[in-house]
Amino acid sequence: MLVKISSATESRKATRWVIAAGLSGIIGLLALTGAWLLWTLPDANAFNTRVEQIFVENDSFTSKGEIKLLEILAQSGTSFSDALASYRMVIFVLMLMAAALLLAALAFLSLLLLLNRRMVSIEASGIQVSSLLISRSENLVILNNMEFQLTQAAIETLSVLAEARMDGDMLSGVELEAVIAGKPAADCDESAGATRVKRLRDSLGNQMVSALLIKNVARRGYVLAIDKDVIEMI
Amino acid sequence: MKYMILIYAVFISSVADAACYASYKAKRGDPLKLHYGVMQLLDHQCTTKAATEVSALRLLPHGWILLNLLTVSLNIPTPTQKENAGENFLRY
């Protein structure tokens, strides 16, 4: 039976899709509302046509005074519709600002979610290497801002492994020894390469654990560099 | 002969007097202006349809749009109509 496997990258892809859909949904909704707002508010002529209708429908409205009154009514309506137009503008600007804020909030929220998820995966996987800098001249390795001093031979081994990784290759012990010692592979021993790797691991691992876990405070002693609460004894 | 001319003149003037009068309502664009008026038409135009066409055409060059006709008749307008129309009495 096939088991459905979900990976971090897969869920990240899904999240990205959800974010894109959500954002476009919000933008679409706001655009619709804006169009509706502009569409439904009465236009400047609505009052005039209304007054005109009243004038036409009532045959008795023929005296000068009545006509003048109707004209004044239409004018006040028109000036009110000018006010309405400015209100509409204000509402529109406010809506745009609200939309921008909403989008920003959503973007930050999703960013936070992504960060949180990545933090969880980092915590679970122990150490995540985001940068590896090898300085051959100083026999120095800088791993995520942590500096480790290695021997010449260990640096050599690490450099060869790094070059092979960049080419997407895998090295056997024989090949490793052949590259480092500069001899044909037929003359090399598997165990020699394995020894080089073991020395590199010992030296780098020792330094890494002392930097990350078992710290040495000068003249005071040793301490575990972890939170008290995460320790459990079985 | 003199009498003939006199009679003819009297006849002509009486024909002119037998004109048709239409009272109408009209409007003008932004800002809205309304007006009530009476205009004189030829008596063969004394049907609602003809009077509507003629009066609309007469008002249009002055920027007025005809809204509706109230009365179309051969009778001489009443004093109330004359007073209400004011300066628009037989103006167009």
For chain B, positions 60-89, list CB contacts with chain A under 8 A.
67-68, 70, 81, 84-86
**Facing residue for B84 by CB, picked from A45, A55, A62:** A62
CATH number at A224 reads 1.10.10.10
CA-based nearest distance A56→chain B, Å: 7
Q: Which helix (H) or strand (E) holds A118?
A: helix A64-125
B23 neighbourhood in chain A, CB within 8 Å: 62
Question: Of A46-60, A213-227, B7-21, B66-80, which range is least confident?
Answer: B7-21
B33 neighbourhood in chain A, CB within 8 Å: 71
Do A136 and A108 reside in the same domain of the chain?
A: no
For chain A, the residue count is 234
**Which of A59, A64, A68, A80 would you mutate first to test chain B, the one with the most B CBs within 10 A?**
A64
Domain that residue A172 falls in: 132-228
- pLDDT category at B11 given cuts 50, 70, 90 is very low
Domain ranges of chain B: 19-88
- Answer whether B87's CB lies under 8 Å from B39's CB: no
Q: Which residues contact B76 (CB under 8 A, 6 or more apart)?
A: B21
Do A20 and A45 reside in the same domain of the chain?
A: yes
Do A162 and A193 reside in the same domain of the chain?
A: yes
Tell me which of A86, A101, A125 is where a domain ends.
A125
Residue of A nearest to B29 (CA): A48
**Mean pLDDT (chain B, rounded):** 80
Tell me which of A92, A125, A158 is where a domain ends.
A125
Q: Which residue has the higher pLDDT, B70 or A44?
A: B70
Task: Answer whether residue A195 is part of any domain.
Answer: yes
Q: Which helix (H) or strand (E) holds A111?
A: helix A64-125
Q: Is A102 exposed, middle or buried (0-12, 13-18, 19+ CB in 10 A)?
A: middle
Do A93 and A162 reside in the same domain of the chain?
A: no
B86 neighbourhood in chain A, CB within 8 Å: 64
pLDDT at res. A4: 58
Task: Report the alpha-carbon distance of residue A45 to residue A61 in Å, rounded.
Answer: 21
Q: Is the confidence at residue B15, as pLDDT, over 50?
A: no
Task: Answer whether residue A1 is part of any domain.
Answer: no
Question: Of A72-86, A136-150, B8-22, B32-46, which range is least confident?
Answer: B8-22
Q: Is the confidence at residue B14, as pLDDT, over 50?
A: no
Q: Is the confidence at residue B13, as pLDDT, over 90?
A: no
Do A74 and A166 reside in the same domain of the chain?
A: no
Query: Does residue A5 come out as left (phi exceeding 0), alpha (psi in the -120 to 50 range) or beta?
Result: beta
CA-based nearest distance A70→chain B, Å: 8
pLDDT at res. A13: 74
CA dihedral A107, A112, A115, A121 (to 10 degrees): -130
The string of DSSP codes covering A73-99 is: HHHHHHHHHHHHHHHHHHHHHHHHHHH
**Facing residue for A52 by CB, picked from B23, B27, B85:** B27
B84 neighbourhood in chain A, CB within 8 Å: 62-64
Do A14 and A112 reside in the same domain of the chain?
A: yes
Do A41 and A87 reside in the same domain of the chain?
A: yes
Task: Answer whether residue A233 is part of any domain.
Answer: no
B30 contact A CB<8A: yes
CA dihedral A87, A93, A94, A98 (to 10 degrees): 160
Angle at A169 between CA A164 and CA A174, to 5 degrees: 75
Q: Count of alpha carbons within 13 Å of B8, Cβ hemisphere only?
A: 5
Weakly modelled stretches of chain A, pLDDT under 50? none
pLDDT at res. B12: 46
Q: How many domains does chain A have?
A: 2
The pair of three-digit structure tokens given for residue B55, joined into one six-digit string = 């009066």
Number of A–B residue contacts, CB under 8 Å: 43
Q: Which residues contact B36 (CB under 8 A, 6 or more apart)?
A: A62, A63, A67, B23, B24, B25, B84, B85, B88
- Per-residue CA distances from B23 to A2, B6, B76 (Å): 91, 33, 11
Residue B20 β-bridge partners: B41
Tell me which of A72, A106, A125 is where a domain ends.
A125
**Which of A53, A67, A73, A76 would you mutate first to test chain B, the one with the most B CBs within 10 A?**
A67
Do A68 and A151 reside in the same domain of the chain?
A: no
B30 neighbourhood in chain A, CB within 8 Å: 45, 48, 78
Do A141 and A43 reside in the same domain of the chain?
A: no
Task: Answer whether residue A3 is part of any domain.
Answer: no
Task: Report the alpha-carbon distance of residue A193 to residue A177 in Å, rounded.
Answer: 5
Do A152 and A88 reside in the same domain of the chain?
A: no
Do A84 and A28 reside in the same domain of the chain?
A: yes
The string of DSSP codes covering A174-192 is: HHHHHHHHT--GGG--HHH
Task: Answer whether residue A4 is part of any domain.
Answer: no
